[in-house]
Structure 1
Amino acid sequence: MTAIDPVTLAVLKGRLEQIADEMDATLYRSAFNPIIAEARDACHGLYHAKTGDTLVQGTKGLPIFVGAMAFAVKAVIAKVEREGGLEPGDTFLFNDPYSGGTHLNDFRLVRPVFRNGKLFCWLASVGHWLDIGGNVPGGYNPKATESFQEGVRFPPVKLFSAGRLNQDIVDILAANTRVPTSNWGDLNGQLNALDLGERRFTALLDEYGDATVDAAFAAFSDRAEALMRAAIRALPDGRYSFADVLDNDGIVDEPLTIALDLTIAGDQMSLDFSRSSAPAQGPINISHATTVAACYVALKHVFTEVPANAGCLRPITFTVPETTLLGAGAPKPMAGYTETILRLIGVVLGALASADPERATAAPFGTINALSLAGHRPDGSRWVMFSFFGGGLGGNPETDGLSHANNPISTATIPPVEILEAAYPVVFTQWALRPDSAGAGAHRGGLGAVYEIETLTDADVFLLGERGKVAPFGVKGGRPAALNRFAWQTPEGWASPPMVSKVTDVRIRAGERVRLETPGGGGFGLPAERSLDALNRDLRLGYVTPEAAARDYDLTTGETR
């Protein structure tokens, strides 16, 4: 293998990450739907020619896709090994969550990069498309019992063969969505990103040489492995367990458990999820690929110095039985995968905190609250608004949790109210922090938010959320945060869902509203240990009401707060 000096290695790392970042930026600028263009629910990277392992990711893409995209590339490689016929100019499309992870809305495009007639690596793009058919506009069907009710499912298929578009696939895509123009724009945005990435990467190979870049790829992975082994070795050997629950699956109103037994032995770690609940009837199942990707996100939160490539997973083994909701197979529904991975990430962080209590933080709000509103404009055209919403992060040893933050699975941004109102016939009549939503503590959690939305046309309402029954927990004596709450207007008044955090088959009239109140984060440390200045500030700003302060904090000293 070609020797490579540290300076060249550092330069190549920056150049390669910049290529992925440019691919991200290209898609953000050209996508039609706000979930990609504004919320940045997308990712790009470079992958190993033979294994499909992650070589390089950008700094802007959605973290959950970092691990999941490798499984997508592996699925394409498996198809090529079975069927052959790979050549320059091919581009594969698919959205199968069972082999590629996440859910049906996330469409992957995978393209080979050839040098001198030989496959050198793969480029890949993923983006969340607004609607892909199924029973519910937007794809988040809280009542789905199999994937056929969630949308159209594509195994890896050639969208381009030797540079020639397969129009039949485009026609099938257009026929299976309520918003074909939006999906067409997103597809072309991803193709533009791949085109740019291929040009930039080819120029880099021409500049540095194939052997040098290949050696850099190997060095990146080896360094990530070494750093991860060192991080694991710094933790005490032992077995550490943690568990948390989901409200329900939208079908059966019973909690489901995500349980982890984490074992550390020297420089190796194993994560065993065998004690988790069986696959669910409703759409909160996830595949093995998604579970591994979510664990990667959790580990990255803790071991921030370890680079984002496949090398960091070499010291780690995963036990994810198909008999659990974390290793479910077809045709189990997976639209609400985001709710499950949020709980899974919290469980991994909880187990690691047991191994190293100094890393303990309280739970974040723990739900994306996937809200879909859909109707028809006066001209008869269909509109589908999908968005996710913020909440509070958990208190930690250093400070209070962030308020109105996004979830720890993503770098995505919450779409701005101005963009949503411009794109859809809706008006946000309230968008504010939610008082008393944070878990009390020496360092309280961040605050959740209140969103009240009025529709300007009749609209169908769908919500797939969580934390409506089991609140985000506090640690070291901190209190839990407020529960998630959702309601909608009816002629008789406000109504709430029987399943608490999941809604379907609801229709509101023009001028009526829906209201979402998201949880805050859990508290860290005893509330009685919160400083007077901090509590007074919370009272002055309206973050905590006097009633909540009297209930949750120690006011027996007679001090004026």
Structure 2
Amino acid sequence: MSSYFSHPSVDPVDLEVFRNRCAAIAEEMGAALGRSALSANIKERRDFSCALFDAQGRMVAQAAHIPVHLGAMPRSVEAALAQFTLAAGDVVLLNDPYLGGTHLPDLTTVAPVYAGPTLVGYTATRAHHADVGGMTPGSMPMSREVYQEGLIIPPTLLARGGVPDEAIIRLICRNSRTPDERRGDLAAQLACHRVGAQRLAELAERHGPAWVAQRMDALLAYGERHMRAVIAAVPDGTYAFEDVLDNDGVNPDPLIICVRIDIRGDGAIVDFEGTAPQCRGPLNAPRAVTESAVLYCFRCLGPPDMPLSAGAFAPLDIRIPSGSILAPNPPAAVAGGNVETAQRVVDVVFGALAQALPDRIPAASAGTMNNWTFGGMTADGTPFAYYETLGGGMGARPTLPGLSGVQVHMTNTLNTPVEALERQFPLIVRRYGLRRGSGGMGRTRGGDGLVREVEFRAPVTVSLLTERRVYAPYGLHGGAAGLRGRNVMLRNGEERLLPGKTTIEMYPGDVLRIETPGGGGFGSS
């Protein structure tokens, strides 16, 4: 395993101030992106992430955005820098899931930061665009290969010397059902890079590029030291666990995910041998997504202010079978791997760690992002497309109940307010609230899921990509499982239970009700 320990010493107080300044730059980038974006998914739901990287492309700081984005983003930065030597004002765009991307709607942009002639570092953003083409509106289809999911973008120069490439922007917009949104959201990503570049360049111009580089090296070592301390606090041993995904949306059989964690001193081997081979449906998770989920789990064992840099990966030896659902070979479909399979990776890693730390690890949370997308045409011929994830129940904690109706683990987005939904799209929200009693019983109870019920006022194509509809979120130490989720269509007063993964045509007056899973309970009641 690599190490970042070889670096000049930096005063701890000085380093802490520098760490927070870098995190503040990433946060300010996010604020600029959210304020200036056009789509509801980015503006309202905050489905984006921002981070800073050093001159070698190693992540040194991030905003408190979306874990699955941030843990996988370094692979995209690595791919971008392998393709281009970037000058001031250049911006690389990519979304290829086999080059560090998560799924195609997540467009990643990478830009260099210079102080005079000296490269200081890079800024990176990842934002979920509500439609990038593909089989169905929202670009989260029941696909069987990645080509069906939308436009695949390898590392491509979106801007040169500060000037956006209009041909590239037109190409992306032409492949989207909502081109105006794509143009607006891409402009927002470019704008937030200018904010990040200005702030980081100001820091380098004030103190010197060498001063910044020294502290970035120290942050990498600092992140490694913290992660090694976290792992050292876990008792040595081997801990194994397995759980399943309901199905891949094509075949009805469950997909097993196995993990074995070997803790030895301040290092950990996380081995997924025995996990199901890659599947026909869109539940394959790119390797970077799986790595991101593992990093998230171990980071959760640390204190709230634990720094997270590329150094945190150093103590983790993550072994993933090639050709499995956790490291598929192209052209496997991956739309749901980022949002659903990543959640189950968290469940199995925490299930294993619960054996080592029974008084710290919570029961399983909802275990799904409850993805739903819809799109169509308004009466005047204007296209629309929408994507949303829904919260669920948090797993019960050893001494506290789980929270209800929250986004858990690998997601960290907001919901879209009812007012915004009804203003922008032809629908009425008939119900939105907690699914009372859906949390598992136990000494401490699991949190309750949500109910979202909408009535459409125009013909729409709806896609559902949801999990925990067959296999419930597990309880721990005698706690009961949380209730499974349910997807229901109401048409002409009759209820029809929908599969967890499906695409369906709905018409004016039809109602879609999504009931999300509750969290598992903890301990015997």
Give TM-score, length-normalised by structure 1: 0.90
The question of whether the paired residues in 1 share the 8 Å contact of 2:491 and 2:509 is answered with no
Deviations 1:452-499 (CA, angstroms, capped at 9, x unpaired):
1001112221100000100011111111111110011234722223xx
One-letter amino acid of the counterpart of residue 88, structure 2: P
**2:20 matches 1:21:** no
Distance 1:121 1:42 in 2: 20
Q: Which residue of 2 aligns with 1:375?
A: 376
Residue 543 (structure 1) aligns with: none
Ranges in structure 1 where 5+ consecutive residues have no aligned partner: 528-561
Does the 8 Å contact 1:47/1:54 carry over to 2?
A: yes
Q: Aligned residue for 2:154?
A: 155
Please give the secondary structure, in 2, of the residue aligned with 1:358. coil
114-123 or 465-474, larger mean C-alpha shift? 114-123
1:228-307 mapped onto 2 (5 Å cutoff):
228-304=227-303, 305-307=305-307
2: distance between equivalents of 1:265 and 1:233? 8
Q: Helix, strand or coil: the match of 1:248?
A: coil
What is the deviation of 1:2?
5.9
Q: Percent same amino acid at aligned positions? A: 37
Q: Where does residue 113 of structure 1 map in the other structure?
A: 113
In the other structure, the counterpart of 1:516 is: 514
1:217 and 1:503 map into 2 onto residues whose CA distance is: 46
Listed one character per residue, the Cα deviations across residues 323-377 of structure 1 (whole Å, up to 9, x for unaligned) are: 2110012211111121000000111111111112112311101111111121211
Residue 49 (structure 1) shift = 2.2
| 1:57 corresponding residue in structure 2 | 62
- Matching of residues 114-129 of structure 1 within 5 Å: 114-129=114-129
Name the residue aligned to 1:68: 72
SS of 1:191's equivalent?
helix
| Matching residue's letter, 2:319 | T
| Alignment check: 8 A CA contact 1:4 1:212 kept | no
Deviation at 1:62, TM superposition (A): 1.2
Q: How does 1:528-539 map to 2 (within 5 A)?
A: none
Which residue is 2:172 aligned to?
173
Any unmatched runs of 5+ in structure 2? 1-6
Counterparts of residues 394-409 of structure 1 (less than 5 Å): 394-409=395-410
Q: Is the 8 A contact 2:482 2:517 kept in 1?
A: yes
Partner SS for 2:359? helix
Query: Is 2:41 the partner of 1:35?
Result: yes
Q: 1:2 to 1:475 in 2, by over 3 A?
A: closer
CA distance in structure 2 between the partners assigned to 1:242 and 1:422 by the alignment: 46
2:386 corresponding residue in structure 1:
385
Contact map agreement 2:284 2:333 (CA 8 A) in 1? yes
- What do the CA deviations read for 1:26-70 (whole angstroms, capped 9, x no partner)? 0110111122112111111111322x22111123x2122221111
TM-score (norm 2): 0.96
| Contact 1:101 1:288 survives alignment (8 Å) | no
Q: CA deviation at 1:164?
A: 2.9
Tell me, what secondary structure is at the counterpart of 2:184? helix
Q: Deviation digits for residues 426-445 of structure 1, max 9, x if unmatched?
A: 11111121122111111111
Matched pairs, number? 517
Task: Tell me, yes or no, if the aligned pair for 2:442 and 2:524 is still in contact at 8 Å.
Answer: yes
Q: Which structure has the greater CA radius of gyration?
A: 1
Give, as a single letter, the amino acid of the residue that structure 2 aligns with 1:224.
Answer: G
- How far is 1:387 from its partner? 1.0
Q: Deviations over 1:384-416 (max 9, x none)?
A: 121111111111111111011112113211222
For the residue of structure 2 that corresponds to 1:68, the secondary structure is helix
Give the Å deviation of 1:116. 4.2
Output the CA distance in 2 between the equivalents of 1:206 and 1:268.
38
Secondary structure of 1:258's match?
Answer: strand
Conserved 8 A contact 2:366-2:518? yes
Aligned residue runs from structure 1 range 85-484, under 5 A: 86-142=86-142, 144-304=143-303, 305-337=305-337, 338-484=339-485
Once the two structures are superposed, residues 288-322 of structure 1 have per-residue CA deviations (whole angstroms, 9 ceiling, x without a partner) of 11111111111122223531111111111111121
1:265 is displaced (CA, Å) by 0.9
- Could you tell me whether the CA contact under 8 Å between 1:2 and 1:211 is conserved in 2? no
Report the CA distance shift for 1:3/1:366 in structure 2 as closer, same or farther (over 3 A): closer
| Structure-1 separation of matches of 2:19 and 2:226 | 16
RMSD between aligned residues:
1.4
For 2:481 and 2:267, how far apart are their aligned partners in 1?
A: 33
1:54/1:67 contact within 8 Å kept: no
Equivalents in 2 of 1:23, 1:315: separation in Å? 30
SS of the aligned residue for 1:140 comes to: coil
Distance (whole Å) between structure 1 residues aligned to residue 211 and residue 241 of structure 2: 44
CA distance in 2, matches of 1:214, 1:360: 37
Runs of 4+ in structure 1 over 3 Å off: 1-4
